[in-house]
Protein backbone atom coordinates (compact mmCIF):
# COMPACT_ATOMS: atom_id res chain seq x y z
CA UNK A 1 0.00 0.00 0.00
CA UNK A 2 1.05 3.55 -0.61
CA UNK A 3 2.28 5.54 2.38
CA UNK A 4 2.62 9.27 2.85
CA UNK A 5 4.94 10.73 5.48
CA UNK A 6 4.95 14.23 6.88
CA UNK A 7 7.84 14.46 9.30
CA UNK A 8 7.05 17.92 10.68
CA UNK A 9 4.11 17.75 13.11
CA UNK A 10 4.33 21.50 13.76
CA UNK A 11 5.84 24.46 11.97
CA UNK A 12 5.73 28.20 12.56
CA UNK A 13 6.46 31.16 10.32
CA UNK A 14 6.52 34.92 10.71
CA UNK A 15 3.89 36.80 8.78
CA UNK A 16 5.17 37.76 5.30
CA UNK A 17 7.95 35.17 5.46
CA UNK A 18 8.32 31.91 3.53
CA UNK A 19 7.87 28.41 4.91
CA UNK A 20 8.31 24.95 3.39
CA UNK A 21 6.37 21.89 4.48
CA UNK A 22 7.83 18.48 3.71
CA UNK A 23 6.16 15.36 2.39
CA UNK A 24 7.55 12.05 1.17
CA UNK A 25 5.64 9.10 -0.21
CA UNK A 26 6.21 5.53 -1.18
CA UNK A 27 4.72 3.94 -4.28
CA UNK A 28 5.56 1.50 -7.03
CA UNK A 29 3.27 3.24 -9.50
CA UNK A 30 4.59 5.54 -12.18
CA UNK A 31 1.47 7.63 -12.73
CA UNK A 32 -0.34 9.23 -9.83
CA UNK A 33 -1.50 12.51 -8.33
CA UNK A 34 -0.25 14.42 -5.32
CA UNK A 35 -2.15 17.05 -3.39
CA UNK A 36 -1.82 19.48 -0.54
CA UNK A 37 -4.98 20.17 1.44
CA UNK A 38 -5.47 22.74 4.17
CA UNK A 39 -7.75 22.13 7.15
CA UNK A 40 -8.41 25.25 9.24
CA UNK A 41 -10.12 25.07 12.65
CA UNK A 42 -13.49 24.93 10.86
CA UNK A 43 -12.39 21.40 9.77
CA UNK A 44 -13.31 22.05 6.12
CA UNK A 45 -10.65 20.47 3.91
CA UNK A 46 -9.60 22.92 1.23
CA UNK A 47 -7.54 22.04 -1.83
CA UNK A 48 -4.33 24.05 -1.96
CA UNK A 49 -2.49 22.59 -4.91
CA UNK A 50 -2.40 19.54 -7.19
CA UNK A 51 0.47 17.87 -9.05
CA UNK A 52 0.26 15.20 -11.72
CA UNK A 53 3.24 12.86 -11.56
CA UNK A 54 3.80 12.74 -15.31
CA UNK A 55 4.26 16.50 -15.40
CA UNK A 56 7.80 17.54 -14.61
CA UNK A 57 6.89 21.18 -14.11
CA UNK A 58 6.17 22.08 -10.51
CA UNK A 59 2.63 23.28 -9.83
CA UNK A 60 2.01 26.81 -8.55
CA UNK A 61 -1.08 28.55 -7.25
CA UNK A 62 -0.48 32.19 -6.35
CA UNK A 63 1.63 32.16 -3.16
CA UNK A 64 1.73 28.36 -3.04
CA UNK A 65 4.19 26.26 -5.00
CA UNK A 66 5.56 22.74 -4.80
CA UNK A 67 8.93 21.12 -5.27
CA UNK A 68 8.15 17.76 -6.82
CA UNK A 69 11.08 15.35 -6.95
CA UNK A 70 9.72 12.16 -8.51
CA UNK A 71 12.87 10.07 -8.19
CA UNK A 72 13.23 11.01 -4.54
CA UNK A 73 9.47 10.63 -3.98
CA UNK A 74 9.36 14.02 -2.35
CA UNK A 75 6.62 16.64 -2.60
CA UNK A 76 7.17 19.77 -0.52
CA UNK A 77 4.91 22.81 -0.29
CA UNK A 78 6.29 26.32 -0.21
CA UNK A 79 4.14 29.13 1.09
CA UNK A 80 5.45 32.60 0.24
CA UNK A 81 4.44 35.86 1.90
CA UNK A 82 2.68 33.95 4.69
CA UNK A 83 -0.58 35.41 5.92
CA UNK A 84 -2.49 34.93 9.16
CA UNK A 85 -5.17 33.09 7.22
CA UNK A 86 -2.63 30.44 6.22
CA UNK A 87 -2.63 29.08 9.77
CA UNK A 88 -4.10 25.58 9.57
CA UNK A 89 -3.30 21.89 9.46
CA UNK A 90 -1.79 20.93 6.11
CA UNK A 91 -2.17 17.44 4.71
CA UNK A 92 -0.21 15.88 1.90
CA UNK A 93 -2.18 13.28 -0.07
CA UNK A 94 -1.48 10.66 -2.73
CA UNK A 95 -3.91 9.21 -5.23
CA UNK A 96 -3.27 6.68 -7.96
CA UNK A 97 -4.59 7.28 -11.46
CA UNK A 98 -6.97 4.32 -11.21
CA UNK A 99 -9.32 5.67 -8.57
CA UNK A 100 -10.06 8.28 -6.00
CA UNK A 101 -8.69 6.56 -2.91
CA UNK A 102 -6.55 9.12 -1.15
CA UNK A 103 -3.71 8.26 1.20
CA UNK A 104 -3.05 11.09 3.62
CA UNK A 105 -0.06 12.03 5.71
CA UNK A 106 -0.43 12.79 9.39
CA UNK A 107 -0.46 16.52 8.82
CA UNK A 108 1.64 19.55 9.71
CA UNK A 109 0.16 22.21 11.96
CA UNK A 110 1.23 25.62 10.70
CA UNK A 111 1.22 28.64 13.00
CA UNK A 112 1.63 32.12 11.54
CA UNK A 113 3.14 34.62 13.94
CA UNK A 114 2.04 38.26 13.50
- The residues binding another protein (CB under 8 A) are 33, 35, 37, 42-47, 50, 91, 95-107
Shortest CB 22 distance to another protein, Å: 17
Shortest CB 114 distance to another protein, Å: 27
Pairing relation of β-strands 10-14 and 108-113?
Answer: parallel
Name the residue nearer to another protein (CB basis): 21 or 105.
Answer: 105
Name the residue nearer to another protein (CB basis): 86 or 107.
Answer: 107
Name the residue nearer to another protein (CB basis): 6 or 82.
Answer: 6
| Dihedral sign, Cα of residue 59, residue 61, residue 65, residue 66 | negative
Contact (Cβ atoms closer than 8 angstroms) between residue 112 and residue 84: yes
Euclidean distance between CA atoms 49 and 65, whole angstroms: 8
Amino acid sequence: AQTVTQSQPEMSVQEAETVTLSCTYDTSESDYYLFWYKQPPSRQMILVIRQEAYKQQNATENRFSVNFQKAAKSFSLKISDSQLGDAAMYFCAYSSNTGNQFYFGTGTSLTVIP
